[in-house]
Amino acid sequence: MGVALRTRWPWVCRDQPLRPWVNMAPPMDKRVNHCFMAGFRMRLGNGEGSSLWLDNWLPDGGPLSARFPVLFSFVHCKSRTVAEGLRDNAWVKDIRGGLSIQAYLDFFALWDLLSSIQLEPEVADTAVWWPAKNGTFSVKSAYYLLFAGRTRCLLGKIIWKSRAPERCKFFMFCAMKNACLTADNLQRRGWHLAPICHLCSKDIESCTHIFLNCAFSREVWGLVRGRIGFLHAVPDDDLPTWWCAARKVVTKRERKTFDAGVILVTWLIWKERNARVFDGRASSPACLFATIKDEWETWLAAGLIPPP
């Protein structure tokens, strides 16, 4: 509730910018800032009250700084208003330095975007709090906003209680929430790259594909299954469902070890994908299986996994 209450202050500062105490505003902490930025919009009129790069004023949402983060890193003057920026395309002068390819792509996309913006000189910009129906901030709406994106990861408990190292648990948590930076997720963030899976070079790369449906990964899972005599089928269409069912046939004592094994295989498949993308190195399923065995031995030696 404290965060929702404190979000009122930045809101009032933007909604009533001419009040004398506005400059006395205490510094915002990160959580208040995130809550405020998530609910705050500027409804564009003449563009004189909205920050070009930092305010959320685009009709389809998102400040330019978040929408074009690479280009934004080259922006020198971040305080320009929308009106100033659009006048004779002055925003172009804000960008300094030798641009990267991605920054050029951002630049051209932004050029198209800003070319379509029409200002209304007679109308002032207005602050809008979109979670509230009347567009005005209320603590209640901020409170609901704080919990709006909360989702439960069914496997969260299993992952965090497994015997795998912390970095692998964190990776697995992201993988189960479909949050790894696979080609489909990068495209959604505006990156322009070939969406083809680097492991099989056949299908579109996504978390589900890489860890489940990919022919390469299925071969690796098959090798793991064959060598340890594990009778459960290779993961099919849904890794969380398979995982929940598979661990039930393992004795309770060995479940945390089994969970660590699932995490290890998934993690090393992901590392293999990254080695192909970033280092140009590719291993066969048999080589990757050997790496999995070596890593498992290391976990055993480190005491993470109890000896069989």
Binding residues for Zn ion (CB under 5 A): 197, 199-200, 214
Q: Which residue has the tokens 């189960």?
A: 176
Q: Which is nearer to Zn ion, 95 or 214 (CB)?
A: 214
* Amino acid identity for residue 44 in this structure: L
Task: Name the minimum Å distance from CB 81 to Zn ion.
Answer: 47
Task: Name the minimum Å distance from CB 202 to Zn ion.
Answer: 6
Largest CA distance in the chain: 77
Q: Which of 137, 132, 135, 130 is nearest to 12 (CA)?
A: 137
Give the residue ranges of DSSP H helices in the chain.
Answer: 2-6, 8-15, 30-39, 64-67, 69-72, 82-86, 101-115, 139-148, 156-161, 166-176, 183-188, 207-208, 215-228, 239-248, 255-274, 285-301
User: Cβ(36)–Cβ(10) under 8 Å?
Assistant: yes
Task: Identify the DSSP state of 136.
Answer: S
Q: Which is nearer to Zn ion, 158 or 214 (CB)?
A: 214
First to last CA, the chain: 49
Task: Name the minimum Å distance from CB 201 to Zn ion.
Answer: 7
Beta bridge partners of 75: 95
Task: Name the minimum Å distance from CB 197 to Zn ion.
Answer: 3
Q: Which is nearer to Zn ion, 199 or 220 (CB)?
A: 199
Among left, alpha and beta (phi > 0; psi -120 to 50; other), residue 303 is left
Task: Name the minimum Å distance from CB 211 to Zn ion.
Answer: 10
Return the structure tokens found at 110.
Answer: 């932004």
- How deeply is 189 buried, as exposed, middle or buried, from its count of CB atoms within 10 A (0-12, 13-18, 19+)? exposed
Task: Name the minimum Å distance from CB 100 to Zn ion.
Answer: 28
Task: Name the minimum Å distance from CB 276 to Zn ion.
Answer: 11
